[in-house]
C-alpha cells in the first residue's frame, strides 16, 4: 500500500473513533438517485525540516464507478501531473504539489460529484448458492493470495477457518459460519492503527476494518475470494471537532461524513457481495444480515477504494512512525454536501456567497490601491507639466 492510502487510511482510522458499531432498524432502500458533493482538503505542515513530498503523498483517489454509483471530479485546487492505477486497482491522480520548506505548509482541496443509485441485492438463499468448486479459478488465484495483510499461512487462523468450515462446501453456509463466530467472539473496539488478523483473533477485539480483515483471511484460507473495501457515509448529524491521533501528527475534521470498511466476498452464483460485520440495518440474529443489510446497500454510502494485495496494516504502522519521527503534520478535512436535484456546481456559488464580505473587502482594497496609484501618478504628471 502506497503512502496515498496511508493518508486516506488515517481518515478511516480516525473516523473509527466516532463511527462506532451500528445496528440500525430502518429501511435503507430508496427509489431515486441521490447526489452529493464530497469535499476533501489535506494540509501538510513541517516545522523543523524540509518535506520532499513523494508521488504517493501527492496522489488523490478518483473513487470508484460502478452500477451503484458514478463519481466525477468537479474541481481541484492543483493541476494533475498524471493519472494512473495503484497496486490494488484503484484509479488515482497525482497532483502538481511542490515540496515544503521549514515552517511552511501546502494544502490541496478537491471536490467530487457523487451520484448514488438504488442498490438492490439478489435473493440471498442457502438453497440457491453454489459450492467452492463453482468459484472461477482465476478469482481464487487473484483474491486468495497470501499477501502481507491477510496472513493465510498463519497456523491459528488456518485451524480456525478449517474448523468453522468443516466438511461444508456450500459457500454461503461457510460465510455464515465465519460471520457468526466473529459476532460471537470479537468485541468492537476502536484504535489508531489497524490489527493484523491474528491480532484481532488473539485479542478478541477490533473495529470495522480489523473484523473485515479477519473475515477476509478466513475466506482466503478456504479458497473464497475476498478483499477489503472502504467508503464514506453521509451522516447529516455528524460535525466533529478536530480529532488528533498518531501523537498529534494527524488532525481530522469531519462534517456530515463517516469512514467505514467492510469485506467484499465472491459468493456464487451472485458474484461479489458485501459482508459487513459492524454496521448493518438489522439485528445480528441471522448472519446473512451481514450481507442483506450491509450499510453499503444504502445510497448514503459512496464506495471509495479497495485493498486487494497491499499490506494495509504494516504500512499504516510505518507511516505513523514516519510522521512522528520527522515531526510532520497532516490536517484532513472531509465534508459531504447533499445536492439532490440541484446543479452540482452550485456549491461554488455558495462558497463565493459565504465569503462575499471577505471578497468585497479585498476587492475594495485592490480598487482603492489602483485608484490611489493612478491619482498619485496623475498628480506627479501635473507637477512636471507645471515646471
Of 14, 159, 4, 176, the C-alpha closest to 92 is 4
In the structure, what pLDDT confidence band is assigned to residue 16 with cuts at 50, 70 and 90?
very low
Question: Does the pLDDT value for residue 109 go beyond 90?
Answer: yes
Q: Is residue 44 part of a domain?
A: yes
Q: For residues 318 and 199, state if they share a domain.
A: yes
Structural domains of the chain, count: 2
Question: Does the pLDDT value for residue 261 go beyond 50?
Answer: yes
Determine the straight-line distance between the first and last CA of the chain, rounded to whole angstroms: 75
59-104: pLDDT as tens digits: 999 999 999 999 999 999 999 999 999 999 999 999 999 999 999 9
132-167: pLDDT as tens digits: 999 999 999 999 999 889 999 999 999 999 999 999
Q: For residues 286 and 349, state if they share a domain.
A: no
Residue 363: predicted pLDDT: 61
Q: For residues 169 and 198, state if they share a domain.
A: yes
CA 121 to chain centre: 22
List beta partners, residue 109: 41
Q: Is residue 163 part of a domain?
A: yes
Judge contact between 262 and 276, C-beta under 8 A.
Answer: yes
CA 386 to chain centre: 71
Question: Does the pLDDT value for residue 187 go beyond 80?
Answer: yes
Residue 7: predicted pLDDT: 43
Q: For residues 220 and 354, state if they share a domain.
A: no
Tell me which residue has cell 438463499: 125
Of all residues in the chain, the percent with pLDDT exceeding 70 is: 80
Residue 202: predicted pLDDT: 97
Q: Is residue 377 part of a domain?
A: no
317-344: pLDDT as tens digits: 999 999 999 999 999 999 999 986 555 4
Residue 37: predicted pLDDT: 97
Q: Which grid coordinates are listed for 61?
A: 483517489
Q: For residues 299 and 334, state if they share a domain.
A: yes
Q: Which grid coordinates are listed for 282?
A: 438489522
What is the pTM assigned to this prediction? Answer: 0.84
Q: For residues 300 and 355, state if they share a domain.
A: no
In the structure, what pLDDT confidence band is assigned to residue 355 with cuts at 50, 70 and 90?
low
Q: Is residue 382 part of a domain?
A: no
Mean of the per-residue pLDDT values of the chain: 86
Q: For residues 246 and 350, state if they share a domain.
A: no
Q: For residues 109 and 256, state if they share a domain.
A: yes
Question: Does the pLDDT value for residue 2 go beyond 50?
Answer: no
Judge contact between 242 and 154, C-beta under 8 A.
Answer: no
Q: For residues 322 and 350, state if they share a domain.
A: no
Q: For residues 242 and 361, state if they share a domain.
A: no
Q: Is residue 359 part of a domain?
A: yes
Q: For residues 111 and 227, state if they share a domain.
A: yes
Residues 6+ apart with CB under 8 A from 333: 39, 40, 41, 42, 253, 255
Question: Does the pLDDT value for residue 32 go beyond 60?
Answer: yes
* Average pLDDT estimate for 190-219: 95
Q: Is residue 379 part of a domain?
A: no
Q: Is residue 240 part of a domain?
A: yes
By residue range, what is the domain housing residue 61? 3-341
Q: Is residue 378 part of a domain?
A: no
Q: For residues 137 and 19, state if they share a domain.
A: yes
Amino acid at each position: 500500500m502506497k503512502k496515498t492510502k496511508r493518508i486516506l487510511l488515517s481518515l478511516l482510522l480516525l473516523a473509527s473513533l466516532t463511527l462506532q458499531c451500528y445496528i440500525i432498524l430502518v429501511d435503507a432502500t430508496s427509489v431515486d438517485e441521490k447526489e452529493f458533493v464530497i469535499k476533501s482538503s489535506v494540509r501538510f505542515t513541517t516545522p523543523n525540516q524540509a518535506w520532499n513530498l513523494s508521488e504517493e503523498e501527492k496522489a488523490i483517489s478518483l473513487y470508484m464507478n460502478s452500477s451503484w454509483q458514478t463519481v466525477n471530479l468537479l474541481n481541484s485546487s492543483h493541476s494533475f501531473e498524471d493519472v494512473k492505477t495503484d497496486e490494488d486497482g484503484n484509479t488515482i491522480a497525482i497532483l502538481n504539489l511542490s515540496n515544503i520548506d521549514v515552517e511552511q505548509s501546502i494544502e490541496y482541496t478537491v471536490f467530487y460529484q457523487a451520484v448514488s443509485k438504488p442498490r438492490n441485492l439478489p435473493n440471498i438463499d442457502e438453497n440457491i448458492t453454489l459450492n467452492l468448486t463453482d468459484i472461477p479459478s482465476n478469482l481464487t488465484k487473484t483474491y486468495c493470495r497470501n499477501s502481507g495483510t491477510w496472513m493465510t499461512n498463519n497456523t491459528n487462523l488456518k485451524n480456525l477457518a478449517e474448523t468453522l468450515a468443516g466438511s461444508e462446501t456450500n459457500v454461503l453456509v461457510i460465510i455464515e459460519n465465519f460471520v457468526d463466530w466473529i459476532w460471537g467472539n470479537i468485541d468492537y473496539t476502536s484504535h489508531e492503527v489497524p490489527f493484523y488478523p491474528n491480532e484481532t483473533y488473539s485479542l478478541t477485539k477490533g473495529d470495522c476494518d480489523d473484523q473485515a480483515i479477519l473475515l477476509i483471511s478466513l475466506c482466503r484460507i478456504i479458497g473464497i475470494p475476498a478483499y477489503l473495501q472502504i467508503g464514506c457515509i453521509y451522516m447529516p448529524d455528524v460535525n466533529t471537532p478536530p480529532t488528533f491521533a498518531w501523537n498529534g501528527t494527524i488532525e481530522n475534521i469531519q462534517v456530515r461524513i463517516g469512514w467505514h470498511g467492510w469485506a467484499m466476498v465472491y459468493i456464487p452464483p451472485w458474484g461479489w457481495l458485501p459482508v459487513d460485520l459492524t454496521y448493518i440495518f438489522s439485528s445480528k440474529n441471522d448472519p446473512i444480515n451481514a450481507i442483506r443489510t450491509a450499510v453499503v446497500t444504502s445510497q448514503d454510502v459512496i464506495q471509495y477504494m479497495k485493498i486487494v494485495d497491499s499490506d494495509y496494516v504494516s504500512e499504516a504502522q510505518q507511516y505513523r512512525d514516519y510522521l512522528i519521527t520527522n515531526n510532520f503534520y497532516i490536517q484532513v478535512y472531509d465534508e459531504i454536501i447533499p445536492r439532490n436535484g440541484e446543479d452540482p456546481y452550485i456549491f461554488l456559488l455558495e462558497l463565493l456567497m459565504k465569503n462575499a464580505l471577505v471578497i468585497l473587502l479585498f476587492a475594495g482594497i485592490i480598487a482603492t490601491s489602483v485608484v490611489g496609484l493612478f491619482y498619485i501618478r496623475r498628480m506627479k504628471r501635473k507637477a512636471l507639466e507645471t515646471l
